[in-house]
């Protein structure tokens, strides 16, 4: 299993947009083949900082998701709200 963390720093004016957007997309991401868990977390001291935390059955499953039209459309929308480049880590349990 792969555990994936993605760190996202957002522009202040887009925090509410991001929360609304990701809440609507979350069930679709979890339903994607190979994903068993997804949580979006907000830093308690820096409200602009978010982390996605997800579980994937394999790196191949994660890459299929990342190569999907769904992800590309989702990422294009969210990326415009970034205040800094996203950082990501894939870890094996």
Question: 2-92 has which fold?
Answer: Alpha-Beta Plaits (3.30.70)
Predicted confidence band at 84 (pLDDT cuts at 50, 70, 90)? very high
Specify whether the CB–CB gap between 87 and 7 falls below 8 A.
yes
Reported as a single tens digit per residue, the pLDDT across 24-68 is 899 999 999 999 999 999 999 999 999 999 999 999 999 999 999
In the structure, how many helices (H) and strands (E) does the chain have? 3, 4
pLDDT given at position 3: 98
Using CA atoms, how far apart are residues 16 and 10, in angstroms rounded to an integer? 10
Task: Kindly list the domain boundaries of the chain, sorted by start residue.
Answer: 2-92
């Amino acid at each position: 299993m792969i555990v994936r963390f993605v760190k996202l720093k957002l522009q202040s004016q887009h925090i509410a947009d991001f929360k609304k957007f990701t809440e609507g997309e979350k069930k679709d991401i979890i339903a994607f083949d190979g994903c068993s868990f997804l949580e979006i977390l907000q830093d308690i001291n820096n409200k602009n900082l978010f982390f996605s935390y997800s579980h994937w059955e394999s790196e191949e499953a994660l890459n299929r998701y990342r190569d999907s039209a769904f992800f590309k459309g989702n990422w294009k929308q969210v990326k415009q709200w970034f205040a800094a480049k996203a950082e990501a880590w894939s870890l094996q349990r």
